[in-house]
Structures are given as structure tokens and as C-alpha cells.
């Protein structure tokens, strides 16, 4: 069994004392930051990226993955206890989780979320391990045309997922692609859009974009809001769900896991889509006589989406690890992190760097286990953290962000760039343009141009190459299908409702 | 003609400006042919598309059937304090060192909050300085100047 020997290699890497420590530290710090309201996984990852610079690549990626799960889970805790989603995929958890908390079942909601996430994480890790090798075989059949079409599919997927206007989401993607063009053109050596600024010749640093648009802009937006938070601190209660709740939650966890795993693999998919879809499914399955009704604290509304978002978070590593293509903004960040460590993401990683590849996969499961062990006993600590006033939190966040951005190149120019992107991010926030597609476009921009050029060169300038190669055609047809599905009136309305609930 | 949806209208204008800007600045490079695309090719196509989308978004915001949407007001206070603090940090870091620039960053950015309290901020600054020195400088060994120029060995 090749899979078993691969997993054995993975676990021997992931279970080394060093890597266990980094996974643990990642999960702990990720949860710590993720619990803070208004900071999602993207901002958390961007902020904590510098901690991993000095580590060796495997440990760095294991730690980053841990940070990601931690942040994801921390977001759910905040959603349940404060009704403030730390990130978009825990928006649905707010709906029923917070209501459960109000009815005194906060503990049960947190417990179900943790157990559901662990089950989903275990399943999804196995799936990643099983799918990795065959998909890499497939990846080697990919030519430039296929890569280009795949990226088109991924970007369309991101558009579909963005809340609000589709056209605006497409605009944000195009803007992201264009920002990715800044810097030296690899084919001709011409410096594009650098305005003779030498620091720009390597392109805009993606940490500056991510941290400015997600981290800083969110902080500024949060300071503006003068809301009071209602935290359920006194009556969290037992973390174990009642028998009735457990019986309701178990099938929801199973459905959420399956759904999330599938949706996570899709380009453009990931935790967010998974959570929304799972909530809709649970609502449908439960029907009209759900007890209690959905939106009033039904445990399935927590179990389904929480399992699904964790499964989706996990399986979205598949396209990233096998094809080197990020399916969502978080994976775009992971790719950025790999590049900082001089690892070119793509199908060759598994062959060249098997310990890193399988170690990362095995560490996913280890990380999930740690999440459960860590979160259930430490829930009191997270609650304390939620009580820290924001006026003390955000200067601390700023300090870590600034040191992080500076230490990428030991250059203050990156800090100024971050300020610029923070201002731009604030503008996006006011104009209600969702920034996640921009980040994805930014990472994909140079790759897309490169593959487009190569495909056109090979086809001697014949653009039909994208439709005549079967794999490429399939990918493009999938993209068209996605667009058509979203444009259908029925889906359009559900989408509106789903994102309305998000507000 | 009245702007019915302000956020959409100004988003459209933003896309239009960026699209035309990128496409325009791309013209100083070589376009190439579809077979051998020059550095200007892809940015021109993308910029053109972005400008087109911007125009459509802006025009739709003027159309009669569009749902009304008002811009939220811009609050210059928080953004000025926060970004000003970060700029000050960047300016001070090389000459004045990490400790001074961190204190400035914390103090100035805290002023952006409507619930600023001097004593808490001072405590926060001391605590964070110790934490950052312990984790980043001594723990992770990042090479950032800690002390002001005149105090450095």
C-alpha cells in the first residue's frame, strides 16, 4: 500500500518533536487571534506569517496550517458567544449558535462545533491523502492551456462566492490580476507599472496587499463602529450536548463532512461555500417542523456548517498541493508562504519534497486533534480574551503587523505599501467591494499571464486551443455552468438571502 | 440623471479609473502579437475589460430600477490616526530603533479610538515592548534595530 507508506512518512515527519511543537503553537496562536472578533483567517495568517520566516519550510507550513485551522475554529467560538463572525464562513454559525447560547446552551454549541470539526477534519485528511497522488498524475497531463482554463474556473468560482454584485466581484478579480502585473515581466525583462521605484521591480509584496486590505482596513472599520458586544460568559454550561442534541447533530455532522469535502476541492470553493451549502441542506432536511426551528438555536444549524467548513478548509489544500493553484484567498496566502520559503508550488512538490508534502497532510490530522484537546479545556481562556476591550487589542495587532511586514525584506518600503493598500481596502469596504477575489486574482495574475502566453505560443496564436483540448474544454464548460447556475433566478434569490443573513 | 446607488456608482468609477490607468500605462510597452504576446498585451486586455465592467456598474447604478444605496460616510479620524501611526513607525524604525517606534505606534494609533485611556495605553506599550523583544528579537532572532542610532554599539 503506497498510501500507507506515504502516510507513515507523513506521520513520522509530523510527529517529530519539533513539528508537534510548531503545530501546537500554530493552533494555539491561530485560535488566540481567530477568537478576536473581526479578524478572520486571512488576516490572522498574514499577521502571523513572519513568525514562520526563520523556520525550515516543513515546520513553517505545518505551523501555518495549524494557524489556519485555529483561526477558523476561533472564529466559530466568537460567532457562538458574541454573535460576531470572525470570518465569513462562521457567519452561518452565528445564526443558530448564538441563539443556542442565548438559550443557555452555549457549551453544547461549542462542544458540537469542536467534535463536528474533528470528525470532518479526520475524514477530509484521509481524502486529501487518497486524492493527492492520482490528482498529481492528472496534473502532469496539464499543459499551459489547461492551467489557464483551470485558473479561469477558479476565478469564476471566487466570483460566485463573493457576496453582493457579481459584476463588482469580477471587477475586483480583474483589479487583482492587474496588480499582479506590477513588476518585471519575466518574458521581456521590462519593468511594468513600477514608476521607476526600484522596490517595485520584484512586484508588489503579497503580504502588503493581504495585510493592508484584510488586516489594517478591518481594524479601521472596526474602530469606526461603536457597538457594544454582548458576551455570554457566565452561562456556558457543560460542553457535552444533551442526548437529544447529540442524536440530531450526528447525521448533520456526517452530511456536513461529505458536502464540505466535495465543495472544498472545487476551485473557488473552500470553507465559506461549504458552510453556506451545509446550512441550506440542514434546513431542507429538517423541514418545517424542526424543533427548535432553524434560526432559533437548532443544533443542526451548528453541527452541519461547522463540520462542512472544516472539511472544506482541509480539502481546499488539494488543488493547492497538487496543481499549485490556490482555490481561495487563504490558499493564495499559503502559496505566497511557500514561495517565501523557495518552494515552487505545483505537482513536483510531492516528488521533490515528499517529507514536506506528506508531513503537511499528516499534520492536518494532528492539528485537528490538537484543536479539540486545546479548545474544550481552554474555552474559559478564550472567553476572557473576548472581554479584552478592542481599544487595547488593535494597537497590539498593529505592532505585530508592522514588525511582520518590515521583516519580510527588512525594508520599510513594504510598510508604506501596506499603508497604501490599507487605504485602498478602506475604500473597498465603503464601496462594498469584497476584497477576497482581489487577493486571489493578485496571486493568480502572473501565473495566468505566463500560461496564456505559453499556450498561445504553442498553438501559434490560435485561441481555439482552449476549446479543442478536451481537459481544457471541460474546465471551461464547468466555469460556464457555474455562471449559469448562479444566474438562475432560484439560486440568485437563495444567494441573496444567504448573504443577507450574513449582514 | 440621479445616482440611485452611490456605492455601486463610485465602485464603477473606481474600476473605470484603474482599468484605463493600467491599459494606458501599458501602452509604453510592446504589444506583440497573439502568438508572441509582449508585456503590454495581457494588461491591456485586462485593463480594457476592467474599464468596461466599471462603466457597466456605474451606468447600472444610474438606472431607474436599481435599488437605492447610500454611501456610508467616511470617518477620517480612525484612518488618519491608524495609518499615521504606521507611517510614523516606518519613518522612525531605522533611526530611532524598535522600542521608540513601537511606543509611538501604540500611542498614536490608540488615539484613533473613541474610548482612549492614557494609563491603559501606557501599560499596553510597556507590556508589548517586553513581549516583542522576547519573542521576535531574542526568540526568533529577527534583525531589527532595537535601540536609537546614538545608543547602538
* pLDDT tens digit at each of 153 positions of chain B: 678 888 999 999 999 999 999 999 999 888 888 888 989 999 999 999 999 999 999 998 887 677 777 888 888 888 999 999 999 999 999 999 999 999 999 999 998 887 788 888 999 999 999 998 988 888 777 788 888 888 877
Instruction: Name A489's Cβ contacts closer than 8 Å, sequence gap at least 6.
Output: none
- Residue A458's closest CA among B37, B29, B38, B39? B37
Give the tens place of pLDDT for each residue, A332-382.
Answer: 888 888 888 888 888 888 888 888 888 888 888 888 888 888 777 887 788
For chain B, how many structural domains are there in total?
Answer: 2
In a domain, B51, yes or no: yes
Q: Are residues A192 and B43, on separate chains, in Cβ contact within 8 Å?
A: yes
SS3 B69: strand
B80 plus B145 within the same structural domain: yes
**What is the C-alpha separation between A451 and A151, in angstroms, rounded?**
10
Q: What is the C-alpha end-to-end distance of chain B, expressed in Å?
A: 68
Q: If you count residue pairs, one on A and one on B, with CB atoms under 8 Å apart, how many are there?
A: 188
In a domain, B81, yes or no: yes
CA distances from A75 to A253, A395, A402, A425 (A): 18, 20, 23, 21
- All cell numbers assigned to A5: 507508506
B55 plus B81 within the same structural domain: no
Q: What is the mean pLDDT of residues A439-467?
A: 89
Beta strands, E only, B36-83: none
- All cell numbers assigned to A489: 433566478
Instruction: Estimate to the nearest angstrom the gap between the alpha carbon of A301 and the chain centroid.
Output: 21
Please give the residue range of the domain that contains residue B100: 76-151
Q: Are residues B83 and A410, on separate chains, in Cβ contact within 8 Å?
A: no
CB A101 within 8 A of CB A363: no
CA angle A154, A155, A156 (to 5 degrees): 90
CB A356 within 8 A of CB A61: yes
| Residue A436 or A427, more confident | A427
| Residue B49 or A491, more confident | B49
Query: Which residues 36-65 on chain A approach chain B with CB closer than 8 angstroms?
Result: 50-51, 53-54
Q: Where are the alpha helices (DSSP H) in A17-88?
A: 17-35, 41-48, 57-82
CB A158 within 8 A of CB A328: yes
What is the ipTM metric for this complex? Answer: 0.93
Instruction: Provide the pLDDT confidence category of residue A492 given band limits of 50, 70 and 90.
Output: low
B91 plus B145 within the same structural domain: yes
Global pTM?
0.84
Q: Is the pLDDT of residue A502 over 50?
A: no
In a domain, B67, yes or no: no
Residues of A within 8 A of B93 (CB-CB) are: 406, 412, 415
| Closest Cβ–Cβ partner in A53, A170, A188 for B53 | A170
Q: Does B27 touch chain A (CB under 8 A)?
A: no
Q: Is the pLDDT of residue A38 over 80?
A: no
SS (H, E, C) A312-350: HHHHCHHHHHHHCCCCCHHHHHHHHHHHHCCCCCCCHHH
Q: Could you tell me how many residues make up chain A?
A: 503
pLDDT the model gives residue B85:
95
B85 plus B43 within the same structural domain: no
Q: Are residues B82 and A223, on separate chains, in Cβ contact within 8 Å?
A: yes
Q: Is the pLDDT of residue A487 over 80?
A: no
Q: Are residues A410 and B144, on separate chains, in Cβ contact within 8 Å?
A: yes
Please list, residue by residue across A193-222, b when 16 or more beta carbons sit within 10 angstroms of its beta carbon and e when fewer do.
Answer: bbeeeebbeebbbbbbbbbbbbbbbbbbbb
CB A417 within 8 A of CB A212: yes
In a domain, B29, yes or no: yes
Adjacent-strand bridge partners of B5: B69
Q: Is the pLDDT of residue A173 over 80?
A: yes
- All cell numbers assigned to A496: 441573496
Q: Are residues A406 and B86, on separate chains, in Cβ contact within 8 Å?
A: no
Give the tens place of pLDDT for each residue, A42-63.
Answer: 878 877 887 787 788 889 988 9
In a domain, B13, yes or no: yes
pLDDT the model gives residue B17:
97
pLDDT the model gives residue A503:
42
Nearest CA in chain A to B135: A51
| Closest Cβ–Cβ partner in A50, A177, A433 for B11 | A433
Residues of B within 8 A of A170 (CB-CB) are: 53
| Closest Cβ–Cβ partner in B30, B83, B106 for A399 | B106
B89 plus B136 within the same structural domain: yes
**What is the C-alpha separation between A207 and A409, in angstroms, rounded?**
11
Residue found by looking up cell 534583525 in the block: B143
Maximum average pLDDT range among A264-278, A388-402, A465-479: A465-479
Q: Are residues A188 and B39, on separate chains, in Cβ contact within 8 Å?
A: yes
B142 plus B87 within the same structural domain: yes
Query: Which residues 98-127 on chain B approach chain A with CB closer than 8 angstroms?
Result: 98, 102, 105-106, 109-110, 112-117, 120-121, 124
B49 plus B89 within the same structural domain: no
pLDDT the model gives residue A391:
84
Residues of A within 8 A of B115 (CB-CB) are: 389, 391
Residue found by looking up cell 491599459 in the block: B23
In a domain, B39, yes or no: yes
- All cell numbers assigned to B11: 465602485
Maximum average pLDDT range among A131-135, A496-500, B93-97: B93-97
Amino acid at each position: 500500500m503506497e498510501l500507507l507508506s506515504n502516510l507513515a512518512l507523513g506521520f513520522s515527519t509530523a510527529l517529530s518533536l519539533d513539528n508537534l511543537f510548531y503545530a501546537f503553537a500554530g493552533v494555539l496562536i491561530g485560535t488566540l487571534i481567530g477568537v478576536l472578533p473581526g479578524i478572520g483567517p486571512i488576516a490572522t495568517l498574514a499577521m502571523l506569517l513572519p513568525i514562520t520566516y526563520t523556520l525550515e519550510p516543513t515546520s513553517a507550513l505545518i505551523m501555518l496550517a495549524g494557524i489556519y485551522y485555529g483561526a477558523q475554529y476561533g472564529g466559530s467560538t466568537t460567532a457562538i458567544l458574541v454573535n460576531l463572525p470572525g470570518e465569513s464562513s462562521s457567519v452561518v454559525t452565528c445564526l443558530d449558535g448564538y441563539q443556542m447560547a442565548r438559550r443557555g446552551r452555549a457549551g453544547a454549541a461549542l462542544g458540537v462545533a469542536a467534535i463536528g470539526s474533528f470528525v470532518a477534519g479526520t475524514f477530509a485528511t484521509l481524502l486529501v491523502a487518497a486524492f493527492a497522488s492520482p490528482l498529481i498524475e492528472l496534473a502532469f497531463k496539464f499543459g499551459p492551456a489547461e492551467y489557464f482554463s483551470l485558473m479561469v474556473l477558479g476565478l469564476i468560482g471566487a466570483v460566485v462566492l463573493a457576496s453582493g454584485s457579481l459584476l463588482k466581484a469580477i471587477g475586483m478579480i480583474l483589479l487583482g490580476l492587474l496588480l499582479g502585473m506590477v513588476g518585471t515581466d519575466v518574458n521581456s525583462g521590462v519593468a511594468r507599472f513600477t514608476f521607476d521605484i526600484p522596490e517595485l521591480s520584484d512586484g508588489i509584496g503579497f503580504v502588503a496587499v493581504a495585510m493592508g486590505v484584510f488586516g489594517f482596513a478591518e481594524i479601521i472599520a472596526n474602530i469606526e463602529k461603536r457597538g457594544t458586544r454582548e458576551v455570554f460568559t457566565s452561562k456556558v454550561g457543560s460542553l457535552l450536548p444533551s442526548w437529544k442534541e447529540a442524536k440530531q447533530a450526528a447525521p448533520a455532522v456526517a452530511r456536513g463532512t461529505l458536502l464540505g469535502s466535495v465543495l472544498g476541492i472545487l476551485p473557488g470553493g473552500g470553507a465559506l461555500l461549504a458552510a453556506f451549502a451545509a446550512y441550506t441542506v440542514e434546513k431542507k432536511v429538517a423541514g418545517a417542523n424542526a424543533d427548535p426551528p432553524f434560526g432559533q438555536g437548532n443544533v443542526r444549524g451548528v453541527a452541519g456548517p461547522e463540520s462542512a467548513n472544516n472539511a472544506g478548509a482541509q480539502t481546499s489544500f488539494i488543488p493547492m498541493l497538487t496543481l499549485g493553484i490556490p482555490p481561495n484567498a487563504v490558499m493564495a496566502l499559503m502559496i505566497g508562504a511557500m514561495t517565501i520559503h523557495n518552494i515552487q508550488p505545483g505537482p513536483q512538490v510531492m516528488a521533490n519534497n515528499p517529507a514536506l508534502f506528506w508531513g503537511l497532510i499528516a499534520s492536518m490530522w494532528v492539528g485537528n486533534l490538537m484543536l479539540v484537546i486545546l479548545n474544550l479545556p481552554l474555552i474559559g481562556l478564550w472567553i476572557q480574551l473576548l472581554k479584552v476591550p478592542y481599544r487595547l487589542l488593535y494597537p497590539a495587532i498593529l505592532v505585530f503587523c508592522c514588525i511582520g511586514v518590515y521583516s519580510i525584506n527588512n525594508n520599510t518600503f513594504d510598510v508604506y505599501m501596506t499603508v497604501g493598500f490599507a487605504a485602498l481596502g478602506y475604500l473597498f469596504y465603503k464601496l462594498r467591494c469584497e476584497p477576497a477575489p482581489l487577493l486571489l486574482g493578485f496571486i493568480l495574475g502572473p501565473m495566468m499571464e505566463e500560461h496564456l502566453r505559453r499556450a498561445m505560443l504553442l498553438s501559434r496564436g490560435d485561441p481555439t486551443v482552449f476549446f479543442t483540448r478536451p481537459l481544457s474544454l471541460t474546465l471551461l464548460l464547468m466555469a460556464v455552468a457555474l455562471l449559469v447556475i448562479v444566474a438562475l433566478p432560484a439560486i440568485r434569490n437563495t444567494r441573496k438571502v444567504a448573504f443577507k443573513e450574513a449582514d | 440623471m440621479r445616482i440611485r446607488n452611490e456605492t455601486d456608482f463610485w465602485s464603477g468609477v473606481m474600476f473605470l479609473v484603474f482599468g484605463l490607468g493600467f491599459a494606458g500605462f501599458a501602452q509604453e510597452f510592446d504589444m506583440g502579437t497573439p502568438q508572441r504576446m509582449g508585456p503590454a498585451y495581457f494588461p491591456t486586455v485586462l485593463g480594457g475589460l476592467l474599464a468596461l465592467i466599471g462603466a457597466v456598474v456605474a451606468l447600472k447604478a444610474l438606472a431607474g430600477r436599481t435599488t437605492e444605496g447610500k454611501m456610508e460616510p467616511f470617518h477620517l479620524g480612525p484612518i488618519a490616526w491608524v495609518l499615521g501611526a504606521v507611517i510614523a513607525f516606518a519613518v522612525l524604525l531605522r533611526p530611532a530603533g524598535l522600542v521608540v517606534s513601537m511606543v509611538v505606534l501604540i500611542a498614536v494609533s490608540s488615539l484613533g479610538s473613541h474610548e482612549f485611556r492614557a494609563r491603559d495605553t501606557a501599560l499596553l506599550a510597556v507590556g508589548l515592548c517586553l513581549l516583542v523583544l522576547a519573542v521576535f528579537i531574542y526568540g526568533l532572532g529577527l534583525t531589527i534595530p532595537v535601540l536609537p542610532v546614538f545608543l547602538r554599539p
